[in-house]
Copies of this chain bind each other. A is one copy, B any other.
């Protein structure tokens, strides 16, 4: 028997949700039915400033980057790879217009959980409150770790940590964006790379 992409997608979502909560088959059905799916071309944008982010994205394959445009400069906030969630929490939770731009750095397939769908899940399957909590907690902890490295560690050290801890970023993200993520100029990153060899 053949495996369709649909089977693959279901499995991905099943494995992911299992990291957070245990669902019966029926409950998973209910969840999966509420998801939407979308394919995003390289360089295409999923969210632009002043939009309200009413969706959370689970990346089935590919890579996303978000940045803020400040005085003409793209300030890269984070990269997201396959099997991770992304949303602009602040915009999503409070329906505030976002400052962020999200774009695909590669061809990317996402599963979409809308705010409406999540509200429905919170009501119908209270376990999802836990899912929401764990998502926020994970997001917080990842960010805290990153934040601490920012204030007290040099750019060179942060780059070395990136090589160690997130090789995907080094392998798949153009250097100019890595520089922007590190908070330095592309020229400075070149210099750092030169020093490391």
Contacts and interface: CB of A to CB of B under 8 A. Distances in A.
Interface stretch (A40-48, A140-148, A164-172): A140-148
Copies in the complex: 2
Sorting the interface of chain A by its residue count into under 10, 10 to 19, 20 to 34 or 35 or more gives 20 to 34
A107 interface: no
A186 interface: no
Contacts of A181: 151
Nearest to A183: B151
A75 B148 contact: yes
Contacts of A70: 152
Nearest to A94: B141
A68 B143 CA distance: 16
A141 B90 contact: yes
Contacts of A129: 126, 129-130, 133
Contacts of A151: 75, 150, 181-183
A31 B75 CA distance: 43
A139 interface: yes
A18 to B, nearest CB: 18
A141 B92 CA distance: 11
Nearest to A131: B133
Contact of A150 (B89, B136, B137, B150): B150
Contacts of A150: 147, 150-151, 183
A73 interface: yes
